[in-house]
Structure 1
Amino acid sequence: MTALSELNDDVVRSMSIGAVFSDFDGKINCLDFHRTADLLVTSSDDDSVRFYDIATARLVKTTYHKKHGADRICFTHHPSSIICSSKHNPDSNGEFLRYLSMYDNRCLRYFKGHKERVVSLCMSPVNDGFMSGSLDHTVRMWDLRVNACQGIMHLQGRPTVAYDQQGLVFAASMEGGVIKLFDSRSYDKGPFDTFLVGGDTAEICDIKFSNDGKSMLLTTTNNTVYLLDAYHGEKKCGFSMDTSPTATIEATFTPDGQYVLSGSGDGNLHAWNISDEPNKVGSWDSYIGVVSCLRWAPRRVMFAAAAASVLTFWIPNDAKSEPGAPNPEG
């Protein structure tokens, strides 16, 4: 297997499909890698939550959640526990979030409060806190250990939230391309900085921090990707991807923060080296249509891409013949 320390333009350029999973009966809504274990979780419109071992490209477990469905999803710190938002049938108390154990298929806790669909969900990298952003124009802070909401912020527009990799700072977006940064320990004092992505009125639908904390990656509902300096908010560059009437795209950093990958409305995947002056490394046909879910694995030279009801694992060409590499017939 290629090591992360060996990641360069040639390796990124060589990425190709190593495994395909096409047994979903509905659109894949979200996917997430565990931070330390070789695990991937997906949620889908077929009401399924699926666990994959990414070291062997093997589906480990599938559970179905017919009552609530499965929309946004993320791992907790435990490799068999996840947080999942509801797709349908919330009760009158706003039962939009569930803390699930995949080990014994139990719901450990409900988190009630949101009145509309949850569109953003993220787990703190350092403690049991997590955040959710909803179409009810609120961001809520939670703790896995208690049912009650720990804090709430009222924002204009569609809120999107993300923690930095150290868990010290979180970002929250609102309408008009506004990004506000908060200290995680004293967010009630208000933002300590505000950034503005000028000239774009589309709503921000995804935020990611690079592992080194120096950069932020924003994706908007009109399929534009922005790279920002996370300290000063300066826009380093922007990539306008083809739009799609059926899907919004996702972009992702590599673990070393040197590359950005993105889907596009034309069904291609694109990669840029951003270590100095951003330059395009390559483009590939995704072979599965418009990629709406895209994440690079935290500890491997591998990324997962999903479009409609198909999930693919991508690895370097030279890894396909390595023992234990993902099986293309997966």
Structure 2
Amino acid sequence: MDQKPKPPKQRINNTTATAKSYLCLPRFRPTTTTTTATSTSHPRRLLSPAISLLDRLREAVFRLIMLSALSSATKSTRKQPDRAAADPRENRARSYPSESSHYSEAVADCIEFIKKSSVTAGDDRRDSSACSARNSAVDGARGQPEREDKVSLELAEEIIQSMEVGMAFRDYSGRISSMDFHRTSSYLVTASADESIRLYDVANATCLKTINSKKYGVDLVCFTSHPTTVIYSSKNGWDESLRLLSLNDNKYLRYFKGHHDRVVSVSLCCRKECFISGSLDRTVLLWDQRAEKCQGLLRVQGRPATTYDDQGLVFAVAFGGCIRMFDARSYEKGPFEIFSVGGDMSDANVVKFSNDGRLMLLTTKDGHIYVLDSFRGTLLATFNVKPVLSDATLEASFSPEGMFVISGSGDGNVYAWSVRSGKEVASWMSTETEPPVIKWAPGSPMFVTGSSELSFWIPDLSKLGANVARK
């Protein structure tokens, strides 16, 4: 019987054969209930149910991961204020301790008291007995004598009201135009219209050195991180350069050229070798102490006042009734926040942060002192004094713990206010007709004023009574 020839075998591609072989496996055979439009639309699911199952598992895990990440991101976003991402200071807690350098002062009859004194913030007080016991135990273990008793003052209105001049240097032949305390030593530097720079050791109540700058004049002066190196601005009308001066050997270490008019504001960064300066030429320049050329330039629309915050992360520029906050690492992007002070368009004189960075103040030529929350820009208090009629600067200063503000006035008087209550606490009359330069010594119950003389103000011990607590 003739057999019919078998038809030739047809070649099929490997993909089809593989697909058929997978579909023939009973374990992965698709059913009518699972074969939907969604499954057929995915080519890999038709070709490989095993791969489809793995894909579904991967997708499920991926969705869980994404949902978890999205949930945590949403929670963290809700906990932070709206501008937390823009303000570099938001990375730290707002209720941080104050960084106060404990200066020991020697002023007239109160030398020993000032040497043992320091200002204590009311919110940061510790158990004195525990501290004393621990210190005595440590000294005893080291074979050292016990430490002498300390006098700690929590500044209150009664202490502010008791303050009077304990010592004064009256050998100036011109008004003091600027002064600065060093952050980690007991040194004070002053600049005056008699073209002199003077270095004082406050702890020993002595003037260590006087340097004359007859050629360039001197207007503003401030310490660098080194206690015998300063940066100062000229006041001769033809050279507006800033100069880095070594007080040890009276040598210029560097010149900073860039401004074309009088420099009215200089502020150093406490954490880096950087500083900023503002000028009547309506520019703010950013500098590195190691380079002669400026590292950045900001143009402003008025007389600028500048300052760095306590961590060097943020600097502020005030002019035209507003304070503009810049991230020091990306200032070229512009201010991340602008705080208004109620439409006061008079020239900004001084802008400062408190020692802990939580508050800031601004003084203007019209005699207004504004105190703001440095994070939110909320106006906390406004103090008013006589307007400044001359080219002098109205300066104000926070007390070490930031609870009080002291300021000069256009009539030469000195005033003190409570930030919490907004009320005037004390005032001291003067025969001067221009506002004095004024600075509170960091961590000490003492402030200094500079006019035609340099005066150190301290509490009167006879009026303190129970306000002094010995530790």
| TM-score between both structures, scaled by the size of structure 1 | 0.91
Distance of 2:188 and 2:431 partners within structure 1:
21
Q: Which has the larger radius of gyration?
A: 2
> Is 1:229 aligned with 2:373?
yes
Judged with a 3 Å threshold, the aligned counterparts in structure 2 of structure 1 residues 286 and 17 are, in CA distance, closer, same or farther, namely farther
What is residue 82 of structure 2 aligned with on the other side? none
> Is 1:311 aligned with 2:454?
yes
* Structure 1 position 199, deviation (Å): 3.0
What is residue 287 of structure 2 aligned with on the other side? 142
Judged with a 3 Å threshold, the aligned counterparts in structure 2 of structure 1 residues 3 and 40 are, in CA distance, closer, same or farther, namely same
| Residues 232-287 of structure 1: per-residue CA shift (max 9 Å, x gap) | 1121121110124334421100111111111122332111121x332322112246
Query: 2:230 touches 2:244 (CA, 8 Å); kept in 1?
Result: yes
What is residue 268 of structure 1 aligned with on the other side? 413
* Structure 1 position 89, deviation (Å): 5.0
Q: Which runs of 5+ in 1 are unaligned?
A: 321-330
- Name the Cα RMSD after superposition: 1.7
> Is 1:4 aligned with 2:147?
no
Judged with a 3 Å threshold, the aligned counterparts in structure 2 of structure 1 residues 286 and 316 are, in CA distance, closer, same or farther, namely farther
> Is 1:131 aligned with 2:276?
yes
- Tell me which amino acid in the other structure corresponds to 1:238: T
Structure whose residues are more often helix by fraction: 2
* Structure 1 position 314, deviation (Å): 0.8
Is the partner of 1:11 in helix, strand or coil?
helix
Mapping for residues 1-330 of structure 1, pairs under 5 Å: 1=113, 2-5=117-120, 6=153, 7-88=155-236, 90-91=238-239, 95-175=240-320, 177-246=321-390, 247-274=392-419, 276-286=420-430, 288-307=432-451, 309-318=452-461
Is the partner of 1:188 in helix, strand or coil?
helix
| Residues 89-124 of structure 1: per-residue CA shift (max 9 Å, x gap) | 544xxx510000001100000001111110000110
Q: Quick one: percent identity of the two aligned structures?
A: 47
Which region of structure 1 is more displaced relative to structure 2, 155-164 or 263-272? 263-272
Distance of 1:147 and 1:88 partners within structure 2:
20
Structure whose residues are more often strand by fraction: 1
Query: 2:411 touches 2:435 (CA, 8 Å); kept in 1?
Result: no
Distance of 1:266 and 1:171 partners within structure 2:
28
Judged with a 3 Å threshold, the aligned counterparts in structure 2 of structure 1 residues 143 and 248 are, in CA distance, closer, same or farther, namely closer
| TM-score between both structures, scaled by the size of structure 2 | 0.64
- Tell me which amino acid in the other structure corresponds to 2:278: G
What is residue 324 of structure 1 aligned with on the other side? none
When the two structures are aligned, how many residues end up with a matched partner?
A: 314
- Tell me which amino acid in the other structure corresponds to 2:265: S
Which region of structure 1 is more displaced relative to structure 2, 103-112 or 219-228? 219-228
Query: 1:96 touches 1:117 (CA, 8 Å); kept in 2?
Result: no
| Residues 127-185 of structure 1: per-residue CA shift (max 9 Å, x gap) | 1000000111000001111111111111111111001111111100122x121000111
